[in-house]
């Protein structure tokens, strides 16, 4: 017999209050990053040693800008989830742990916005 209420069971969120959300997003972003990371690696190879005009022209093409946006947003999300797990596993002091978790999210959010604005400036702003 279960002591869990019917509502709690229907929500399925468990004691951490987020259910399988973290697990699922970690896997979903991982699957998305398989082709994105390969495209990114090939692109970086193509741009190695490229001068400013070449790199700017490359980033100005819509397909490259779109894929780069997907790479950075997915990678930052995946990184936030992964670093969160590492902190939760190894940092046990209350203040240090929460500082790390909050800093990870804030820094990740800043990086995502900063990189997205940069990509869009090159792609749209000319």
Confirm or reject binding of residue 7 to other proteins (CB under 8 A).
Answer: no
Q: Which of 9, 22, 27, 61 binds other proteins (CB under 8 A)?
A: 27
Q: Which is nearer to other proteins, 13 or 117 (CB)?
A: 117
- Two structure tokens written together for 18: 């987020």
Considering the rule CB under 8 A, would residue 122 count as an interface residue with other proteins?
yes
For the segment 54-113, give every residue that binds other proteins (CB under 8 A). 55-56, 59, 68, 72, 75-76, 79, 82-83, 86, 111
Which one, 7 or 45, has the nearer CB to other proteins?
Answer: 45
Give CA angle at 21 (26, 40), nearest 5°: 25
Burial 10-40 (b: 16+ CB within 10 A, else e): eeeeeeeeeeeeeeeebeebeebbeebeeeb
Closest to 42 in 3D by CA, of 66, 62, 74, 68: 68
Contacts with other proteins by CB under 8 A lie at 27, 30-31, 33-34, 37-38, 41, 44-45, 48-49, 52, 55-56, 59, 68, 72, 75-76, 79, 82-83, 86, 111, 114-115, 117-119, 121-122
């Amino acid at each position: 017999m279960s002591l869990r209420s019917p509502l709690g069971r229907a929500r399925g969120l468990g004691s951490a209050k987020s259910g399988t959300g973290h697990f699922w997003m970690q896997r979903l972003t991982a699957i998305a990053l398989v082709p994105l990371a390969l495209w990114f690696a090939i692109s970086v190879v193509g741009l190695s040693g490229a001068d400013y005009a070449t790199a700017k022209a490359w980033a100005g093409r819509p397909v490259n800008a779109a894929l780069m946006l997907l790479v950075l947003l997915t990678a930052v999300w995946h990184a936030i989830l992964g670093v969160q797990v590492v902190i939760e596993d190894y940092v046990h002091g209350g203040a240090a742990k929460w500082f790390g978790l909050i800093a990870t999210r804030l820094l990740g959010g800043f990086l995502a916005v900063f990189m997205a604005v940069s990509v869009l400036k090159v792609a749209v702003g000319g």
